[in-house]
């Protein structure tokens, strides 16, 4: 590998294309194929810190919930919260196994798709297993799963941190019925519906606490890139749900490496989206 300074040695794009096309006349390489859903930018980012994609990996789980679960009630809908936690746990376990089997040291850019139905909860994880270039396999328990993009993984690594895994927490809570008297009294008023506000706070607190517990179990110091989904269920407006997930991180070395951004002033007009010269 050689480091090229783009400012002093511009690329001869035409010569490069001719060379690439000429190489196709030969036979395909006798190497193990790799698969990835990374864009070329993401792959270049990974290469810049000495990592490479290995395999496209996935994990899925569906957990059923008991009948009558979403009827009116009070407090947390424990079976729904448990179904969400289990579905996330099993999907994570499966993508982790696929990554370890493929020789990956971790999975980046995991796309988290979760669907909550009245009868079951489904979690699908899809990402690319990665490793340091040509690195041998590692113990399965050191393989991490992260929903950080390859770009964010690069930045995190440069800053001296490492991802440890996914943490998640979810909670579903009934918004208790108002009394008939309260509902009639509030009908013509601008008034906060405390039952919903309280339900949101309650589900938020339980979900965040569970995510934090996951992070501590993975021996992390924090969770970055936390995503939050909250609101009433489409099939049960009297119940609210809150789910959060993100990547658990810990310092890889002694201290954080300060990454100071450089200030840049672009001389391009914002309207000019294309500049052929920049490709040279």
Partner 1 sequence: MGESPPDLPEAAERRLASGAFSSGLSVSDFGACLEMGLEPVGLVQGFCAMHQGNYAMGAGLSRSLSPYGGAGGGYVQNYQCPHGFISNEHRAWGQNYEQTWVQDAWSHGFTSAYQRMLEEATTLGAHGVVGVIDTETPLGDVGVTEFHVRGTAVKVLDTPAPTSSPWNTYLAGQRLAKVFEAGYAPVSIVASVSSVRVWAYCVTEYLMEGFAGSMWTNATNASSAVEIDQIVTAQAWSRQRVRSAARAQLHGDALHGADLRLVEREFEKGDLEIQAVLRGNRIRRFKEFDALPVPQPTVRLS
**Tokens 């995190």 belong to which residue?**
156
d(CA 218, CA 48): 27
d(CA 23, CA 257): 41
d(CA 103, CA 32): 12
Binder among 20, 180, 255, 267 for partner 1 (CB under 8 A): 20
Does 268 interact with partner 1 (rule: CB under 8 A)?
no
Residues making up the chain, counted from first to last: 280
**Which residues in 74-133 contact partner 1 (CB under 8 A)?**
78-80, 82-83, 86-87, 90, 94, 118-121, 124, 126
73 or 198: whose CB is closer to partner 1?
Answer: 73
Does 65 interact with partner 1 (rule: CB under 8 A)?
yes
Q: How many residues bind partner 1 (CB under 8 A)?
A: 86
Shortest distance, position 132 Cβ to partner 1, whole Å = 13
Does 4 interact with partner 1 (rule: CB under 8 A)?
yes
SS3 label, residue 188: coil
Binder among 180, 255, 267, 279 for partner 1 (CB under 8 A): 279
Binder among 8, 67, 192, 271 for partner 1 (CB under 8 A): 67
**Which residues in 25-64 contact partner 1 (CB under 8 A)?**
25, 28-41, 43-45, 47-50, 53, 56, 58-64
Does 156 interact with partner 1 (rule: CB under 8 A)?
no
Q: Could you tell me if 37 and 107 are in contact, meaning their C-beta atoms sit under 8 angstroms apart? A: no
In the chain, how long is the greatest CA-to-CA distance?
83
d(CA 129, CA 161): 19
Which structure tokens are listed for 127? 């990402």
**Which residues in 165-204 contact partner 1 (CB under 8 A)?**
none
Does 261 interact with partner 1 (rule: CB under 8 A)?
yes
Does 257 interact with partner 1 (rule: CB under 8 A)?
no
Does 137 interact with partner 1 (rule: CB under 8 A)?
no
Non-local CB neighbours of 138 within 8 Å, separated by 6+ positions: 105
Which structure tokens are listed for 190? 């601008």
């Amino acid at each position: 590998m050689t480091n090229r300074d783009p400012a002093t040695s511009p690329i001869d794009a035409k010569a490069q294309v001719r060379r690439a096309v000429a190489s196709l006349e030969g036979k395909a390489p006798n190497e193990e194929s790799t698969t990835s859903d990374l864009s070329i930018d993401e792959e270049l980012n990974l290469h810049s810190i000495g990592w490479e994609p290995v395999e496209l990996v996935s994990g899925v789980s569906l957990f059923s919930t008991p009948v009558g679960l979403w009827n009116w009630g009070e407090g947390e809908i424990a079976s729904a919260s448990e179904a969400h936690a289990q579905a996330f746990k099993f999907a994570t376990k499966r993508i982790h196994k696929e990554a370890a089997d493929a020789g990956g040291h971790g999975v980046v850019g995991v796309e988290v798709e979760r669907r909550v139905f009245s009868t079951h909860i489904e979690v699908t994880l899809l990402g690319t297993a990665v490793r340091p270039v040509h690195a041998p396999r590692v113990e399965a328990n050191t393989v991490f799963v992260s929903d950080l993009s390859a770009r964010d993984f690069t930045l995190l690594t440069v800053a001296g941190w490492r991802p440890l895994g996914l943490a998640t927490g979810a909670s579903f809570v009934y918004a208790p019925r108002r009394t008939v008297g309260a509902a009639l009294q509030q009908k013509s008023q601008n008034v906060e519906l405390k039952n919903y506000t309280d339900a949101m706070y309650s589900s938020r607190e339980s979900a965040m606490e569970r995510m934090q517990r996951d992070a501590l179990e993975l021996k992390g110091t924090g969770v970055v890139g936390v995503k939050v989904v909250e609101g009433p269920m489409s099939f049960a407006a009297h119940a609210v749900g809150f789910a959060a997930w993100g990547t658990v991180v810990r310092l890889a070395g002694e201290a954080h490496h300060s990454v100071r951004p450089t200030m840049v002033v672009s001389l391009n007009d914002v309207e000019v989206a294309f500049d052929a010269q920049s490709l040279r």
